[in-house]
Structure 1
Amino acid sequence: MEKKVFTVLFIAVLASTIGVSIIEPLMAIYSESLGASGLYIGIIFSAFTLSRGLFTPIAGKLSDHHGRRNFISGGLLVYTLSSFAYIIAIDVNSLIVVRLVQGMASAFVAPLAMAYIGDIAPKKQEGRYMGTFTISFFLGFGIGPIIGGTLNHVFSMNAAFIAMGALGLISLALVFLTLPELGVHKEKKPSAFLKIIKYKAMQEILLIRVVTAFGVAGFMVFFPLYATSIGLNTAEIGTIITINLLVTALPQRYFGKLADKHNKLALIILGNLVMATTILLIPLTWDFYSLLGLNIAMGLGGAIGLPANTALAAQFGRLHGMGSVMGLLQAAFAVGMTLGPLIAGIILDLAGLTVVFFYTAAIVAFGTLAFYMFVKRNVKNHLSGS
């Protein structure tokens, strides 16, 4: 049963993530073609993550009370339909609406899939299970951009949107037809949100998730514009982003097992500092290979820190409701993914593209320092005991 759940969810999340990431290197360019300014590019990206962030805690709480399978299926259905709606977006406002709807739908997919995996992970093996499962996200995000860039380069932007919808449909069929409901929601009553977020350990987990997401968003949204400005085409941009995310994905299991045995907090801090350094250096690069080198380093930073952060959340979820905790974790990620493009978009309009990367790197570095100080102050109450 556990193996079946893991395999079904891994394949379904991989397919749907490839779909949504197909349009990742294209959205800024597509938004500009509809007349979006730097601020509106930020709003378009943030609409997805804002909507997702608002609905993930709700989705997680509902799944703790009523089960996860049907909510995942419903989320995938709306996600698939909204994928095809990109084709009929005629202006910036309609594109924002599509992003809001798809963000809401995604809130019922990834967080609940992570809660499923948290449910079946043995104690003290949360890092290995969550790290291995997280490969599906980053592998999907790694494969998608090169497919999207190539589809746009060879065919058109609409080809990328059609591919996204088709992959969503595959995920929906797989989950609806083969995923069993575990019934964990019948065994334990989840804690209230206010109780969960009062714990110092949970506050630490959420803080660093926001900081990490802020850096990822600030980079991913505006990196294609910088790469285009120095002469790269969309296929090259997609290749670089793909390699970045593959480097993040492939060592996840290894660093997850490392997090099970060693200090999770040290791994989180190291990973974020590597990411901040690479973002800082982006405007100092000048060609495909130098950008590729920095993206490999950034991917490694993500591989080091993310499994440890998710493992801490899974440990906490055992006590207070896995769906609720994973929903809050994804909401924190959405906060960072929302604020990153919005604020970076304003910086772009006011100070130019180069300053966007300097600013984003500074936020990640200072946010990681704040996390360290917070943990140091509350170390006696920390969940992991590492």
Structure 2
Amino acid sequence: MLRSGLRSVRGAFAVDRRVFALAFARLADGIGNSFLIIVIPPYVASSVVGGPTFGLTEAMIIGVILSLYGLLNSLFQPFTGRLSDSRGARKRFILVGLAGLATTNFLYLFAGSYLSLVVLRALQGVSIAFIVPTSVALVNELATAGDRGGNMGVYNTFRLVGFGAGPVAAGAVVAGGPYALSVGDSAVTISGFEATFLIATVTALISLAMVATLITDPSDIERRAGGAPSLSLGDPRGQNVLNPVITLGLATLFMMIGISIFATLQNTVNARLDQASTWFGLQFSAFVIAQIVLQTPIGRASDRFGRRPFILAGMIVLVPTTLVQGFVGTSLAMFVARIGQGVAGAMVFAPALALAGDLAPEGESGTTLSVLTMAFGFGIAIGPLISGFLVGIDFAVPFVFAAGLAAIGAVLVATQVDETLDREGAPTAAAE
């Protein structure tokens, strides 16, 4: 039944059924993994967790646990992407990552010290590093030049749905605890925290089962393995200064810094706009909402009209939509600005992945696309640090700084990135 449903959806969106299976799997593990973003801070602050703090405050420990995940995830992606290229394996790497994720989610049930939480979250970061570049590389290899943007859009849409739904569900699960479960003649009571860890474990196992049964590597991937994939900083064709893939990575980094500077400013934004926390939640999620709605249609449009126009337009739109957030005076205006950022992000990310995929040499999709996925993760990690530092100067300064980065990104795309599709949707010389 599931296979039949996937075939039907494939017909509606014209993407490979394995891309849909992978997208559904990432939706499931995204829900479970994003649970922990909401759960870990109150769990660390609860009476369940104790032990040595190594001279750190509780707030600092929470920051280390949350940031270590993103840092290790991003740092390891180029290595796992390159290794999956040289070994000619995508599915095995994804399964290793999902198995690691399921195991660490389950081990949270037994983690009672600050150090154990740090170790588990670090291991999760490494596990995700096995999943992200290899998944995107697999999507790239299952697509063609004529449908790569649409495939990337579908994959990203489902991944973002999981990421966006998880925190909302996690809050409800924790608040609804404790839960009484019947096991045969016995009754077991579990806390809201334990319930979230179990749900996260189950979602990872569901993803693992879906990938194991529904995903296959491209038939020729082993033939293309065994090389030494690499990526030069300069343009290998000699037409521009920077390698266009590196340029797209920088644009992605600048974009995500601009998006994520908002994350640490909740108290400041609420006080400035005299708004309740509900408004901030809406403003924060506006970016994800726009991404979910627009990723697939923009990705498919980039297959028809070209990648570069969308990427460049998105970076240009990112400048005013980021800048204005430092000066708006109403909650609604901030919400609209964040929606605008989401539109800009949707115009950049799926077409940028598709363009990088067009440029990826045969058998080197993992190495090539890990540049963009790594930049995405680093931007999410760096943005809050930058805003936390610059907001002390003035509220507008982080947004002015991020808008400047977006402008630099637009200039880089305009001068260093060439189109990879012609007007008929066929690869241009730049992609060959």
TM over 0.5: yes
Closer/same/farther in 2, CA of residues 293 and 343 from structure 1, 3 Å limit: closer
**Partner of residue 290, structure 2:** 247
Tell me the CA shift for residue 157 of structure 1. 5.8
**Alignment partner of 2:360: what SS?**
helix
For structure 2, the 5+ residue unaligned runs are 1-6, 8-14, 47-56, 178-191, 237-242, 419-427
Tell whether 2:195 aligns with 1:172.
no
Pick the structure with more helix per residue: 1
Between the aligned partners of 1:361 and 1:191, the Cα distance in structure 2 is 40
What is the aligned counterpart of 2:255 among 212, 234, 255? 212
Whether contact under 8 Å (1:71, 1:108) holds in the other structure is yes
Query: Per-residue deviation at 1:310?
Result: 0.7
| Aligned counterparts, 1:129-144, within 5 A | 129-144=151-166
Correspondence 1:20 to 2:41:
no
Calculate the TM-score normalised by the size of structure 1: 0.81
CA contact (8 A) 1:42 1:343 kept: no
Counterpart of 1:56, as a letter, is Q
Tell me: CA distance 1:114–1:357, structure 2 relative to 1, closer, same or farther (3 Å).
Answer: same
Match of 2:276 in 1: 232
- Identify the residue that residue 58 of structure 2 maps to in structure 1: 35
What do the CA deviations read for 1:275-320 (whole angstroms, capped 9, x no partner)?
Answer: 3433333354566544432332222111111121011111122535
Could you tell me how far apart the structure 1 residues matched to 2:336 and 2:26 are? 28
Alpha-carbon spacing, 1:193–1:182, altered in 2? closer, same or farther (3 Å): closer
What pairs with 1:1-386 in structure 2 (closer than 5 Å)? 3-24=16-37, 35-37=58-60, 43-64=64-85, 65-85=87-107, 88=111, 90-91=113-114, 95-152=117-174, 154-155=176-177, 159-189=195-225, 192-198=228-234, 199=236, 200-219=243-262, 221-226=263-268, 229=271, 230-233=274-277, 237-284=280-327, 289-319=332-362, 321-347=364-390, 350-351=392-393, 355-375=397-417, 384=430
Q: Determine which structure has more spread, i.e. the larger CA radius of gyration.
A: 2
Provide the TM-score with structure 2 as the length reference. Answer: 0.74
Deviation sequence 1:172-214 (CA, Å, 0-9, x none): 2222233233343223247644445443222222221222232
* Cα deviation, residue 236, structure 1: 5.8
Identity %: 25
For residues 8-43 of structure 1, the C-alpha deviation after alignment (integer angstroms, 9 at most, x for no partner) is: 211101111222333446667777887225xx7665
Q: Report the 3-state secondary structure (helix = DSSP H, G, I; strand = E; otherwise coil) of the residue aligned with 1:319.
A: coil
Contact map agreement 1:131 1:307 (CA 8 A) in 2: yes
Say what the alpha-carbon RMSD is for the aligned residues. Answer: 3.4
Shift of residue 104 of structure 1?
A: 0.8
| Larger relative contact order (CA 8 Å, sep ≥ 6) | 1
Measure the CA separation in 2 of the matches of 1:241 and 1:19.
20
* Partners of 1:343 and 1:253 in 2: CA distance: 31
Question: In the superposition, relative to structure 1, how do residues 214 and 243 fare at CA in structure 2: closer, same or farther (>3 Å)?
Answer: closer
How many residues align structurally? 374
The residue type paired with residue 408 of structure 2 is F
With 299-308 and 207-216 compared, the bigger mean Cα shift is at 207-216
